[in-house]
Amino acid sequence: MARKKQFEKPLHGDKESLRFATPEPIARYRAQRLRCRALADISCGIGGQTVFFAQQCEFVYAVEIDPERIEYAKQNCEMYGLDNVKFICGDALDPKVIEQIPAVDVVFSDPFRPPEEDERQVSCLEPGIPNVLSAYGEKTKNFAFEAPPQMPPERIPFDCEKEYISLDGQLNRLTLYFGGLKQYERLAVALPAGEGLISKALPLPPVRESEKMKLYAYEPEPSVMAAGLLPELADSMIETVGPFAGGFELFRVDKKRLLFTSDALVKQPMIKHHYLVLKVCPFEPGEINRFLRDRNVGSVVLRAGVKPEDYWEVRKEVEKGLEGKKTVHLFVKEGRAILCEVIFQD
Ligand SMILES: C[S@@+](CC[C@H](N)C(=O)[O-])C[C@H]1O[C@@H](n2cnc3c(N)ncnc32)[C@H](O)[C@@H]1O
């Protein structure tokens, strides 16, 4: 079965492996970061990441415990015209497999993880990170692992760089870099743009919170939030506008969503959406619709505060008769609507 999933060339694979395969923009980004002479990808699945390693590295060792998946990985490398990969079918922790791999520059593992867990734990990964570090310790000191991005940095009990990646505005991957690959403590990346934000060496104070919306609202890339880099993001926005333009405060919409708010207008690449705040008013769909008419608005994105079963009815009511070009995002906090117009749209 061949299916397209964010790949230029649709990969070969079974449904489950395709679901877990690394999306192409992330696989390409990672392969560039890990570019080296010889790399071992020791839980390669159908090779969604392997093909891009093989494009960047001189030689790749690809290990996979499942015989069907490794056949797909071979087909995928063939499809990309790659002949610099040695495929090894077996348990990556089996000494018979390990002895087939010489000293390499980098060992990479994207381990199996249970599809769902109450709370993501590094101990549930298969093969486990400590086991791989000790089994391959003679081959290299440079390791990179993929881990579930829902895990906050403080729950990762290793001395490693934690790189959170969002893709198209959604949190997508977490990569842990060990040894010589560790460059920072924490890093947030936004793909496909390829922008990044790094943690400062000394911890910054938390960003001040506000209950009041100012002229502009800024929605951070989810990778920034996952990496705990909101103070760094506020700092970089202050650096851009200068210290006298006014500060950036946090406005919590609900448990999951937060926005920066400020009277200063800034464009920052790790901001997913920049908004002009049009109005803060009681959440009454009919009133909101009347306000949006004659303002060149065509669509309203409901961002919170509406029960899923009411979503389409509310959306229909707020969008009734709107025929303009602009998109407005509607946030709801404790019965109050915040109408935000997207600015700096591509
Ligand atoms: C998340 S998938 C890898 C996906 C791959 N990076 C891609 O982009 O297509 C994890 C893979 O690890 C394999 N695996 C689990 N335990 C293993 C072990 N001990 N040795 C080798 N492979 C293993 C699983 O069979 C599975 O295919």
pLDDT tens sequence across 128-166: 999 999 999 999 999 999 999 999 999 999 999 999 999
Residue 1: pLDDT over 70: no
| 238 and 174 within one domain | no
How many A from CA of 193 to the centre of ligand 1? 28
Which of 194-198, 323-327, 341-345 shows the lowest per-residue confidence on average (mean pLDDT)? 341-345
Residue 2: pLDDT over 60: no
In short, whether 175's Cβ falls inside 6 Å of ligand 1 is: no
In short, whether 64's Cβ falls inside 6 Å of ligand 1 is: yes
In short, whether 126's Cβ falls inside 6 Å of ligand 1 is: yes
| 269 and 154 within one domain | no
| 345 compared with 136, residue with greater pLDDT | 136
Read off the pLDDT of residues 13-24 as tens digits, 9 standing for 90 and up: 999 999 999 999
Query: Cα Rg for the chain, rounded, in angstroms?
Result: 23
Which of 126-130, 181-185, 239-243, 268-272 shows the lowest per-residue confidence on average (mean pLDDT)? 239-243
Residue 203 lies in a domain: no
- Boundary-marking domain end, from 183, 199, 227: 183
| 95 and 224 within one domain | no
Residues in contact with 143: Cβ distance below 8 Å, sequence separation at least 6, in sequence order: 106, 107, 108, 109, 132, 133, 136, 177, 178, 179, 181
How many A from CA of 185 to the centre of ligand 1? 26
Q: Which domain holds residue 293?
A: 216-343
| 135 and 25 within one domain | yes
Residue 339 has phi, psi (to 5 degrees) of: -100, 120
In short, whether 41's Cβ falls inside 6 Å of ligand 1 is: no
pLDDT at residue number 3: 40
Residue 191 lies in a domain: no
Average pLDDT over residues 322-343: 94
Task: Kindly report the length of the chain.
Answer: 346
Residue 284 lies in a domain: yes
| 71 and 146 within one domain | yes
Residue 115: pLDDT over 90: no
C-alpha to C-alpha distance for 111 and 143, rounded to whole angstroms = 13
| 284 and 157 within one domain | no
What's the CATH code of the domain at 108?
Answer: 3.40.50.150
pLDDT at residue number 66: 97
pLDDT at residue number 59: 98
| 158 and 58 within one domain | yes
In short, whether 142's Cβ falls inside 6 Å of ligand 1 is: no
Read off the pLDDT of residues 202-222 as tens digits, 9 standing for 90 and up: 999 999 999 999 999 999 999
C-alpha to C-alpha distance for 174 and 162, rounded to whole angstroms = 7
Residue 167 lies in a domain: yes
| 224 and 176 within one domain | no
Number of structural domains, the chain? 2
> pTM higher than 0.85, yes or no?
yes
